[in-house]
Amino acid sequence: MPELPEVQTIAVELHARLQNAAVLRAEVLLPRSIGYPDIALFTDGIQGRRILSVSRRAKYLLFLLDEATLVVHLRMTGRLLLETTPLSPHPHARVVLHLNAGRTLHFIDARTFGRLYLLVPGDVMPLSSYHALGPEPLEPSFTPALFAERLRQRRGALKSVLLDQRLVAGLGNIYADEVLYQAGLNPRRPVDSLEEAEMDSLHAAIVDILSKAVEQRGTTFSDYRTSWGLIGGFQDSLSVFRRTGQPCPSCGTSICRESVGGRSSHYCPLCQPF
DNA sequence: CGTATGCCCTGCGCGC
DNA sequence: TGCGCGCAGGGCATAC
């Protein structure tokens, strides 16, 4: 489940490894993995392009090419593996970019939710939600005051609002649960009931948890891998996520799991009272 | 307009 | 042991 720390790790690695690489040919093995434009325009448009940089916005990977931009969202199970030697076809390979120097960038995606988008000059980003993305939580401009101001405009359960990319970009189910635990807030807590101090705790937890997860190169449960195929390290630091029935690291109470807004939420009933 | 719900997909874990 | 059901979940479409 690539969230901000996982996508950040992949972006930093690929930037270092792919700068000035050339795309010789795109091989689309599963047409629906291409979100925009159609397959022919995608393969024609990316052929011969040079990779200038790789960066991240929210959970999107941005490949800046000469005269085009490749946007990739990994969704649930997507991986981008950069292979330096010929590789037998992976059963879940959906798109393969053949690069110069015999290298290949494999987009592998078991559940096929991930998408690739190619934008050429004059194209408007076809993802309307992209334009509505909230602030980057690890940027200095993401201040407690800005966060509180945005939170005050929202209603509903705290967990659901944290997962909404319009509030803050980059949180998914793992880090939303971990952030709420660190802030001592119940996932079902109505957003409009939060005190100023609680919003500040939440802000601090978002920055702290995400920073530490980036340092650990993300969390691997099953599918997430870095561009080298390596797992992350933050799964050993999780306090509540997927720890149902296990003791809370702080008080020893059994971790609970319940559905909030259609998403599983893990929390300590003692440390995170409603 | 803002919030809530269902859906897409397939591998895997669980229960019988 | 083997099989089948249901869960997992980001973001979009649709409903309210």
CA of A187 to C1' of B4 (A): 16
In this model, does residue A89 exceed pLDDT 80?
Answer: no
Mean per-residue pLDDT, A123-139: 87
Pairing outcome for strands A34-36 and A115-119: parallel
pLDDT of residue A111: 87
Strand B nucleotides within 7 Å of a protein CB: 2-12
Catalytic residue among A17, A75, A150, A263: A263
CA of A224 to C1' of B11 (A): 14
The mean pLDDT value of chain A amounts to 90
Element (H, E) at A266: strand A263-267
Catalytic residue among A49, A59, A103, A159: A59
Q: Which residue is nearest to nucleotide B9 (CA to C1')?
A: A111
A218 touches strand C (CB under 7 A): no
Instruction: In whole angstroms, give the CA distance from residue A80 to residue A93.
Output: 10
Q: Return the percentage of chain A with pLDDT > 70, whole number.
A: 100
A59 classed as catalytic: yes
In this model, does residue A44 exceed pLDDT 90?
Answer: yes
A3 classed as catalytic: yes
pLDDT digits (tens, 9 = 90+) for A215-258: 998 888 777 888 888 888 888 889 998 888 889 999 999 888 88
In this model, does residue A106 exceed pLDDT 90?
Answer: yes
Work out the pLDDT band at A271, boundaries 50, 70, 90. Answer: very high
Bigger pLDDT: A125 vs A65 = A65
Q: Return the percentage of chain A with pLDDT > 90, whole number.
A: 62
Positive/negative CA dihedral, A82, A242, A191, A146 = negative
pLDDT digits (tens, 9 = 90+) for A141-163: 999 999 999 999 888 899 999 99
Give the range among A129-133, A182-186, A207-211 with minimum mean pLDDT: A129-133
Nearest nucleotide (C1') to the CA of residue A75? C10
pTM above 0.85, yes or no: yes
Work out the pLDDT band at A195, boundaries 50, 70, 90. Answer: very high
* Nearest partner of A80 among A68, A90, A65, A67, judged by Cα: A90
A152 classed as catalytic: no
CA of A131 to C1' of C6 (A): 35
Token readout for A211 is 């920073």
* Nearest partner of A99 among A26, A22, A42, A13, judged by Cα: A22
Read off the amino acid at residue A165: Q
